[in-house]
A and B are shown apart, each in its own frame.
Chain A
Amino acid sequence: MKYRAYILVWAGLIILTGVTFSLAGFHLGGWAVLIALSIAGTKSGLVLNYFMHLKSEKELIFKIAIPLVLAVLLVFISLTFSDVVFR
């Protein structure tokens, strides 16, 4: 990857940090967590795909690794919440 591309990704990360920082001042109610997580997710996506080159990996195993972990965590949190929310 050319250095310019890396710097562009970095700029995107800084901008998104600014966005998430500014949004903290607003009253977003229940959406706050979801929005914060989405922005964090997008930033991570940039790091994963470009800095860690996931985008250019060809084997299946590299492509499914992160989605797999995300799915596992989501399941763990959801099933735990089936207890926490309904007690």
Chain B
Amino acid sequence: MDEAKGFVPEEVRDYTGAKLGMWLFILSELLLFGGMFILYSAYRYKNPVDFHHASEELDVILGTLNTIILLTSSLTMAISVSALQAGRSRLSAFLLMATIAFGLLFLLNKGIEWTTKIDHGIYPNSPTLLTRAKGEILFFGLYYVMTGLHGLHVLIGVGVLSVMLFFLLKEKITQSHFAGLENSGLYWHLVDIIWIFLYPLFYLIT
């Protein structure tokens, strides 16, 4: 034992353990949104017609576009991780940048959607909204909270992926140490999955 330097414990990395931790976190996030889905299901059950009317006011094109953007970003994310595992870190970095770009594009679209709605006077507690049927008020309440919460998660995801990009470029994430990228990818796919459900439940109510 070198008294002056002290003992440095051997580095221990548990790739599966880190992945398990991220999956457990994902479970908690699914239940966070799940709470809102409980509310959504109860209110849609009680106000089917109002929900249908309100849903028609949402921009289906923008919503569908956003769905495609997010699905594609999941593709670039998945290949980015694969590329890194195959040793192609430049391709990996490029695809990671693409994923981030898609994320920002999604947020831009969302921003446009929201500002348009707000300009038309449709936002929580607005005088216009309060003249509508109760089911419609609830629909928009749920819309803003759920897409808002989702958008916040997209924003956080963009942040996390940017940090991972930085690590990738600095070679702290490499072909042999890629858990950070892979686990951030898992988070990103989660954000995609939540939108996969939000899309039909808000934009496609028949």
Contact = CB atoms under 8 A, between A and B. Distances in A.
B71 A17 contact: yes
Nearest to B61: A21
A44 B196 contact: yes
Interface centre among A51, A62, A69 (most CB of B within 10 A): A51
A73 B31 contact: yes
Interface in A1-32: 1, 3, 6-7, 9-10, 13-14, 17, 20-21, 23-28, 32
- The prevalent SS among residues of A at the interface is helix
Interface stretch (B75-83, B113-121, B128-136): B75-83
B196 A27 contact: no
- The prevalent SS among residues of B at the interface is helix
A62 B21 CA distance: 11
B206 A48 contact: no
Interface string A40-71: 10011001101110000001011001001100
B31 A72 contact: yes
21 contacts: A14-B68, A17-B71, A17-B199, A24-B60, A25-B206, A43-B71, A47-B189, A51-B78, A52-B186, A59-B16, A65-B27, A69-B30, A69-B31, A72-B34, A76-B34, A76-B38, A77-B38, A77-B41, A81-B41, A84-B42, A85-B45
